[in-house]
Structure 1
Amino acid sequence: MQFAYSDEQQMLRDSVERFGEEEWNAADRLKRLAEGPAGGRRRWAKMAELGWLALPISESEGGLGGGPVEVMAIMEGIGRHLMTEAYASHCVLAPALMRGGGEHCAVLLEQLGAGAIRIAAALIEDSGFDPASIRTEALADGGGVRLSGTKIHVEDGADADWFLVSARTSGSVGSRDGIGLFLVPCDADGLDVRRFRSVDGHRHASLVLRGVSATPVGQVGEAADRIDLAMDRAILAVLAESVGSMEAALAATLDYVRTRQQFGAPIGTFQAVQHKLVDMSLACEEARALTMVATAQYAQTASDAALVAAAKVRVAQCGIAVTQQAVQLHGGVGTSEELVVSHHLRRQMMLELAFGDASFHKARFADASFR
C-alpha cells in the first residue's frame, strides 16, 4: 500500500511538530504537567488559533471538515510529544457523536471549534466497554428528559464544560434499541462530577446523575449506530497517537544506546541489544501500516468494524512491547519520572484501554467477521 500525506496534510503535521517542540519539549515535561488545568487552557487556546479544534467538525456546523487522515497527521504529533491536551476525546469523538444532532449541537460545535468550550463523552458504565451495556435511564419529565445513573469513566472528562451522556429510553441492558444521547452541562443540578488524574497525566472523571435535566442529541432511542461510528473514528485517532508515541520512544532509545558505554563500548554495538532494537523497529512499522490501512479505509468507505477492532488490538500490543523494551534498555533510570520513555510507557498503557480493551475488540472482531 502506498501512503503519503498531501502537501496540505504535511504542513499540518509540521505545525504540530513545531507546537510540540515549543510546548512539550521532553526536558520541560514535568514543568508542563505541574502547570495543571491553567497550562492546559493556555495551550488549548493556541490549538484553537491554529485551527486544529475546528478541523474534525463538519463545514455545515462551523468547522473545517477535515477527515481521518488530517486527524491522523495531528494525532501522530500529539503522541510523539506526549501532549495531554484531550484532542481525540473533545475534538474527534464529541463532534462525531453530535453531527447532525440538531441546531443546539451546531451552536455548541462552533464554540468547541473556537476553543470556548470542551465536550466529553460519558458512555462507559461498570458492565464493560460495550456502549449497549448501559443502565442509565432517560425518563420523560413533562416536555423534557431527566437522567439517572452512573458513568464510571469519562475519558478526559475532568475539564469538560458539557457531557454527552448515553442513556436508555427503553429496552434491557445489552439491547441496541432504545439508546439515546443527551447533552448535560457540567454544572447541572443533580450532577456529581468526580475528577481524577491517571498515570499518564490525563484528567478523567466519573459521573453520578440524579434526575439531571438533559437535551437529546438526534433521534431519541436510536443512537447505537451513531456511537459505533464515532467510537471508530476516535479509535483511529488514538492509533495514530500510539504510533507517534512508540516511534518517539524508539528514537530516544536509539540515541541512548549510541552513547551509553559498557565494557568500553556503546551498548548499541552489542548484538543482543541490536536484536531488541530490530524487534522494536518492526513493531513500529507494523503499527504504522495497520493505522494507515484502517484510516484510509474509514476515509473512503466509512467504518470497517473488523479492521478497526483488529488494528486497535494489535497496535496496542506493539505500543506496549516497544515502550517496555525502551524502558528496559535504559536500565533502572528508564523508570524514573525524569526520563521521557517512562511517560511513553504509561501513555501506551492507557491507550490500550481507551475506547475498549483487547478483550472487547477481539470479541467485536469475531462478531463483525462472521456476520
Structure 2
Amino acid sequence: MDFSFSDEQNMLQDSVQRFIQNNYNFESRQKIVASDDGFSRAHWQQFAEMGWLGLPFSEEDGGFGGTAVETMILLEEFGKGLVVEPFISAILQAGSIVAHGGSAEQKQKILEPLIAGELLPALAYIEPQARFNVNDVKTTAVAKGSGYTLDGFKGVVIGGPSADVFIVPARTAGAQTDATGISLFLVSADAEGVSKRDYPTIDGFRASELTLSGVQVDAEALLGTEGDGLSLLQYGLDQGMMGAGAEAVGAMEVLYKDTVEYCKTREQFGQPIGKFQVLQHRMVDMFIEHEQTKSLAYMAAMRLSEGYNPVSRKALSALKVQVGKGGTFVGQSAVQLHGGMGMTNELNIGHYFKRLTAIETLYGNTDFHLKQYGQL
C-alpha cells in the first residue's frame, strides 16, 4: 500500500510547516495563550485566507472538498506547534455537524461565515453526570408555540468564550439515557437566558460552563430531525476525535525529538546522558510509540475517507486507545529525561504533555475506547 502524499497534500503540509516555523514558536504561543481571547484572531483570519477553514467541507458547501487525510496532515502540524486556535471545536465538531445535517439555510447562515473566518460556533454537549455517555442528556427542549424552550447545563464547552453560536443537544422525548429523543439546536451566544462562566484549561485552551434558562429558539434552529440527533452529534465528535488524534501525533513527535537532542547535550559523569544504554532504550520506546500512533492515525484517516461507518469508527477507537497509551508514555518519559525543568512553564515539554493529557480525556478516555473497540 502506498502511503506517500500527493503533490497537493505535500503542498498543504509545506504551507502549514512554514506557518508554524514563522508564526508559532513557543514564546509566541505563550503570548497568544495569555491574550484576552486565548487565541489569535489574526491567525484565524490567515487560516481562512489560506483555505484551511474550508478544507474539510465539500465544494457545494463553499469548501475545498478535502478528506480526513488532508485534515490529518493539517492537524499533525498544528500539534507540533501546539496551535490554540479553535479549529477542532469550530470546524471539525460544530462545522461538520452543520455540513452533515443542516438545511440549506443553516449551511448558508453558519458555514459561509465560518469558512470566511467571520463566525465561531462551538459544540456544547458535555453534561456533568454523563461521563463519556453522549446520550445521557438532562438538558430539555420543550415545544412551545412555533419553537422550543431550552433549559439545562453544559460543561467544558471548548471554544465557548469566543463562540458566536452554540450547537446544543437537548432532550425532546424519552428518558435521560435513551439513544432516541435527542435533538440538536442552534443557540445564539447572546440569546436571552444564556449565561456563561469562562475559564482556561490546563492545555492552554479556553472553555465555558453554559447555563440555559428558558432559552427561546424558533423551529429553524433545529438541526436535522427532531429526536434523531444522536447520530449527527456522534458524527461531529468523531470528526473532532480524528483531528485530536492527528494533533497528538505531532505533539509526540516534538517530544521524542526534543528529548533525543537534550540527551545529546546534557552531561553527567563526564559524558552525555544519551550514551547511557538504559536511556537509549527509553528513547527508542518513545519513538516506537510515536510511530505506532502515526500508523493508526493514517489508518483511521483512510477509513474515514472511504466512508463514515462502523469500520471507520472502530479505527478511530483504536487510534484513541493508542493516543492515550502512547501519548502518556511519551509525555512522561520526556518530562523524566529532562529532569525537574521538564515540569516548568518556561520549557515547552510540559505544555506538550498537558495537551496530550487533555486529548487522552477528550471524546472518551483509553478505557472507554478499548471497550468500544470490542463492541464495534
Q: Give the structure 2 partner of residue 343 of structure 1.
A: 351
Contact 2:142/2:172 (8 A) holds in 1: yes
Contact 1:120/1:155 (8 A) holds in 2: yes
User: Are 1:363 and 2:364 matched, yes or no?
Assistant: no
User: Are 1:247 and 2:248 matched, yes or no?
Assistant: no
Taking a change above 3 Å as real, the CA distance of residues 174 and 39 of structure 1, as seen in their structure-2 partners, is: closer
- Return structure 1 stretches of 4+ with deviation > 3 angstroms: none
Distance, in Å, in 2 between the alignment partners of 1:85 and 1:167 is 27
Q: Give the structure 2 partner of residue 267 of structure 1.
A: 273
Shift of 1:189: 0.3
The one-letter amino acid paired with 2:112 is E
Unaligned ranges ≥5, structure 2: none
Distance, in Å, in 1 between the alignment partners of 2:29 and 2:45 is 19
Matches within 5 A, 1:157-168: 157-168=160-171
User: TM-score scaled to structure 1, two decimals?
Assistant: 0.96
Shift of 1:27: 4.1
Say which of 166, 173, 184 aligns to 1:170.
173
Q: Which moved more, 1:176-185 or 1:355-364?
A: 355-364
Q: Which moved more, 1:205-214 or 1:70-79?
A: 205-214
Q: Give the structure 1 partner of residue 213 of structure 2.
A: 210
Distance, in Å, in 1 between the alignment partners of 2:176 and 2:340 is 47
Say which of 303, 317, 321 aligns to 1:309.
317
User: Are 1:189 and 2:189 matched, yes or no?
Assistant: no
User: Are 1:232 and 2:238 matched, yes or no?
Assistant: yes
User: Are 1:64 and 2:70 matched, yes or no?
Assistant: no
Shift of 1:35: 2.7
Q: Deviations over 1:4-29 (max 9, x none)?
A: 22111111111111111122112433
The one-letter amino acid paired with 1:59 is E
Report the 3-state secondary structure (helix = DSSP H, G, I; strand = E; otherwise coil) of the residue aligned with 1:37.
coil
Distance, in Å, in 1 between the alignment partners of 2:210 and 2:194 is 7
Matches within 5 A, 1:20-59: 20-37=20-37, 40-59=40-59
Q: Deviations over 1:65-121 (max 9, x none)?
A: 211011001100110000111111111111221124113321211100000011111
Q: Give the structure 2 partner of residue 123 of structure 1.
A: 125
Contact 1:30/1:338 (8 A) holds in 2: no
User: Are 1:278 and 2:287 matched, yes or no?
Assistant: no
Shift of 1:159: 1.2
Identity between Structure 1 and Structure 2 (%): 38
Q: Which moved more, 1:228-237 or 1:81-90?
A: 228-237
Q: Give the structure 1 partner of residue 294 of structure 2.
A: 288
Q: Which moved more, 1:47-56 or 1:236-245?
A: 47-56
User: Are 1:354 and 2:356 matched, yes or no?
Assistant: no
Report the 3-state secondary structure (helix = DSSP H, G, I; strand = E; otherwise coil) of the residue aligned with 2:161.
coil
Query: How many aligned residue pairs are there?
Result: 368
Over aligned residue pairs, what C-alpha RMSD do you find? 1.4
Shift of 1:199: 1.1
Shift of 1:32: 2.9
The one-letter amino acid paired with 1:122 is A
Distance, in Å, in 1 between the alignment partners of 2:104 and 2:314 is 33
Distance, in Å, in 2 between the alignment partners of 1:39 and 1:311 is 27
Distance, in Å, in 1 between the alignment partners of 2:357 and 2:161 is 20
Distance, in Å, in 2 between the alignment partners of 1:93 and 1:33 is 22
Unaligned ranges ≥5, structure 1: none
Q: Give the structure 2 partner of residue 325 of structure 1.
A: 333
Shift of 1:38: 7.1
User: TM-score scaled to structure 2, two decimals?
Assistant: 0.94
Contact 1:130/1:360 (8 A) holds in 2: no
The one-letter amino acid paired with 2:251 is S
